[in-house]
Structure 1
Amino acid sequence: MRGGRDVAAVTDATFRLHRGECLALVGESGCGKSVLASALLGLLPGNAVTRGRALLGDLDLLTADERTLARTVRGRRIGLVPQSPAAHLTPVRTVRAQLEETVRELTGVRGSGLRAAAEAAAERAAFPADHLDRYPHQLSGGLAQRATTALALVGDAPLLLADEPTTGLDRDLVDRTADELRRHVDAGHALLMITHDLAAAERIADRVAVMYAGRIVELVDAAGFFGTPGPRHPYARGLLDALPERAFTPVPGMPVELTDLPPGCAFAARCARATAACAQRPAVTDGVACHHPHRDESESPRA
């Protein structure tokens, strides 16, 4: 709820995520990606209402109580790389102390092996050993990001939620972080990566889900999304065309406000392919929610 009005932050989000698979969730800021991750972890505000099911094995995350989420899910069955890393680090404890505590709680390592295990976790996330004894306020944004990534990887959780895991990193570190996340996936874990970085998504994703105005408008194999035939939804194609190495053409207009969604297609006002049919909400057909999806890579937009 915002300003006394109900806001449908996420609707019709339907997907399966398997072990050994990375699903990249992409879209502009404010489209609902982080809200979806918060819902899965039970971290939504108290006035939020959830409907539907989110099954992790036989556990429905949307109906699980806080005790279950805190004791058996967060960190153990679901690891989180948060969007705002500094807010998730304890300000009065060093990175080393936080890593050692997490290793001890999630893996049971004690004694002399604890220090080595914490340093190994830091190395996985490319966190420099000579910064382990620093406090969070002494870290740059990129270092804080790497510290939270190290913490998230400690427990080898079956599912990892990575919310903008490459923010604040230079290109080399983006690639190294993406490769480490891919190794986590290849070890048999599932990864939901929320990202604006389409290059990182292309590097490690198996499938791509495109979200617009709180709805997944396209769900497709990564190879087809980044290669041939390319995205079919006009918004998804616009995201790719905005990349410097492609057309470098931004998606026209501004994202629709979630408090003022139209009854039909939420993207219609920004879409060159829109027709009168778009006044009706499009159903999802073959993984795409669009009345006029692209059919092949060479097809030109409708007039």
Structure 2
Amino acid sequence: MPGGGRIAAVTDAHFEVAAGECLALVGESGCGKSVLASALLGLLPANAQSRGEARLGALDLLAADERTLARTVRGRMVGLIPQSPAAHLTPVRTVRSHMAETVTALTGVRGRKAVREAADRAAERAAFPADHLDRHPHELSGGLAQRAATALALVGDAPLLLADEPTTGLDRDLVDHTVDELRRHVDGGAGRALLVITHDLAAAERVADRVAVMYAGRIVELADADAFFGMPGPRHPYSRGLLQALPDRGFTPVPGMPPELGDLPDGCAFAGRCERATDVCAALPPVTDGTACHHPYVPEDLRA
């Protein structure tokens, strides 16, 4: 930040992802979702700082050193589908080469034929076309790069899969295929879980057990997916606005723009865009029943 100041990109992010569960983290661009994902895997810039705990079993991810993250966590304990997949692929190597190296490193499979077959199976799971495996990253469309990244993340059958915008660049059928495959990953082995970061609320509804809504670096609502997308619906006004913006739910955008993370108000960051705001919103809202709001919707409001 100009002048040497600091920006709190994510604050007070308290949540759990249980074995066998998918948690969808949703919110507008710039709210801190991808920063949170990067912090969990030690991928923040060198000048960034993180505090708190992020427990995966007995290991605190935020306290782990780079050697532990590189050799034990990434790919093995946490599989990552990155937000910008092309940037994570080596430009001078083919997709097949990436797949073979990942299979060998994470699964212990050896032998040229066995590795090739394992790579082909992973590509098929992600709907990556076999006739594109010998192409280099620059020869792939954005959607194909996304599918390549998904295939690579699925190889190791990691206990936690962290998918950061895994459906970017995909048409609706491929979106459904991708989130269904991510769901199968969770359901296909004991102890697996999925944290999916997405703008695509339809994809979140299809795959998630619970939904966490992030706004201006804070989680403002945490709810069961059935209740969030159905009845009684979201309790936070921002969450309700996100759903109202969907084409099949009114196509009404949330008014205004989110605040800059470097210039947040002392109280509720959403107050300036909220029709329910009052003077009390000048203070930071408490978290009650999973919702950080002074004036949350209650069932009586949602039926009105």
Instruction: Tell me the TM-score normalized by structure 1.
Output: 0.97
Give the aligned partner of residue 168 of structure 2: 167
Provide Cα deviations, 1:91-129, integer angstroms capped at 9, x if missing partner. Answer: 101000110110000001111211110000000000000
Contact 1:230 1:297 in 2 (8 A): no
Q: Deviations over 1:263-298 (max 9, x none)?
A: 000000000000001000001111000000000275
Which digits, 9 at most, give the CA deviation of each residue in 1:158-210, with x for residues without a partner? 00100000000000000000100000111231100000000000001000000
Residue number in structure 1 paired with 2:153:
152
Say which structure is richer in helix.
2
1:285 to 259, 270, 288: 288
Secondary structure at the aligned position of 2:35 is classed as helix
Count of aligned residue pairs for this structure pair: 301
* Structure 2 residue identity aligned to 1:25: L
**Aligned 8 A contact 2:228 2:234 in 1:** yes
- Residue of structure 1 equivalent to 2:96: 96
Q: Distance in 1 between matches of 2:107 and 2:300?
A: 48
Q: Secondary structure at the match of 2:226?
A: helix
Q: Does structure 2 retain, via aligned residues, the 8 Å contact 1:53–1:60?
A: yes
Q: CA contact under 8 A between 1:229 and 1:297: conserved in structure 2?
A: no
For 1:57 and 1:293, locate their aligned partners in 2 and report how far apart those are by CA, in whole Å: 34
Q: Which residue of 1 aligns with 2:74?
A: 74
Q: Are the aligned partners of 1:89 and 1:136 in contact in 2 as well (CA < 8 Å)?
A: yes
Return the match for 1:250 from 248, 253, 272.
253
Structure 2 distance, partners of 1:5, 1:261, is 13
1:48 aligns with 48
Q: Is the 8 A contact 1:217 1:288 kept in 2?
A: yes
Work out whether 1:86 is the aligned partner of 2:81: no
**Shift of residue 299, structure 1, vs aligned partner:** 3.9
**Matched letter for residue 288 of structure 1:** T
Q: Which secondary structure state, in structure 2, belongs to the residue aligned with residue 104 of structure 1?
A: helix
CA distance in 1, matches of 2:37, 2:164: 8
Please name the residue that 2:275 is paired with.
272
1:4 positional shift: 1.4
- What's the CA shift for 1:2? 5.7
Offset of residue 3 of structure 1: 5.0
Counterpart of 1:245 in 2: which secondary structure?
helix
Q: In structure 1, what is the Cα distance between the partners aligned to 2:173 and 2:267?
A: 42
Report the more deviating stretch, 180-189 or 34-43.
180-189
CA distance in 1, matches of 2:300, 2:177: 31
- 3-state SS, counterpart of residue 160 of structure 1: strand
CA contact (8 A) 1:80 1:160 kept: yes
Verify the 8 A CA contact 1:228 1:297 in the aligned structure 2: no
What is the percentage of aligned positions where both structures have the same residue?
Answer: 78
Equivalent AA in structure 2 for residue 143 of structure 1: L
Q: Which SS does the other structure have where 1:98 is aligned? A: helix
Question: Aligned letter for 1:248?
Answer: F
| CA distance, structure 2, for counterparts of residue 300 and residue 291 of structure 1 | 20
C-alpha distance in 1, partners of 2:221/2:2? 27
Question: Which range moved further: 184-193 or 119-128?
Answer: 184-193
Residue number in structure 1 paired with 2:297: 294
Whole-angstrom distance in 2 between the partners of 1:300 and 1:217: 22
Q: Which residue of 2 aligns with 1:231?
A: 234
RMSD: 1.2
Report the Cα distance in structure 2 between the residues aligned to 1:122 and 1:243, rounded to whole angstroms: 32
